[in-house]
Amino acid sequence: MSPFSLVLPALLFATAAHAQPPPKPARLGLCAACHGENGIANAPGIPDLAAQDRAYLVAALRQYRSGERSVAAMRAASGALSDADIDALADWYSNQPRAAGAGR
């Protein structure tokens, strides 16, 4: 048995496991009301979150929660989020496909 016969299945399993989308976050409904469940905004003037950089989403949500960014609706929505909630939401939205033709 060659060493590759053991390594290849492990690599394929690791790649398949990594490719799995994150589970829907428990607090998704809070964001989905305006930004859409898949990160495509429901109204003009609301930014799409699909395919945004994960680190940016985490930082922005923490800044809204702390009041460093002052947007009343976002402060209210993010105030009850834990760090784990923020991480889960950022994972979810950063892994959603960008809307076709989206330039935001």
pLDDT for 100 equals 79
- Global pTM reads 0.78
The domain tally of the chain equals 1
Is 79 contained in some domain? yes
Q: Are 61 and 89 in contact (CB under 8 A)?
A: yes
Band of the pLDDT at 104, cuts 50, 70, 90? very low
- What's the CATH number where 32 sits? 1.10.760.10
Instruction: Give 76's pLDDT tier (boundaries 50, 70, 90).
Output: very high
**What would the mean pLDDT of 73-82 be, rounded to a whole number?**
96
Residue-level pLDDT at 103: 54
In a domain, 34, yes or no: yes
- How does pLDDT run across 2-60, given as a tens digit for each residue? 555 555 555 555 545 556 889 999 999 999 999 999 999 999 999 999 999 999 999 99
Two tokens, residue 50: 């699909």
The verdict on residue 18 lying in a domain is: no
Identify whether 89 is part of a domain: yes
Amino acid at 25: P
Residue 5 belongs to a domain: no
- Which residues form the domain of 64? 25-94
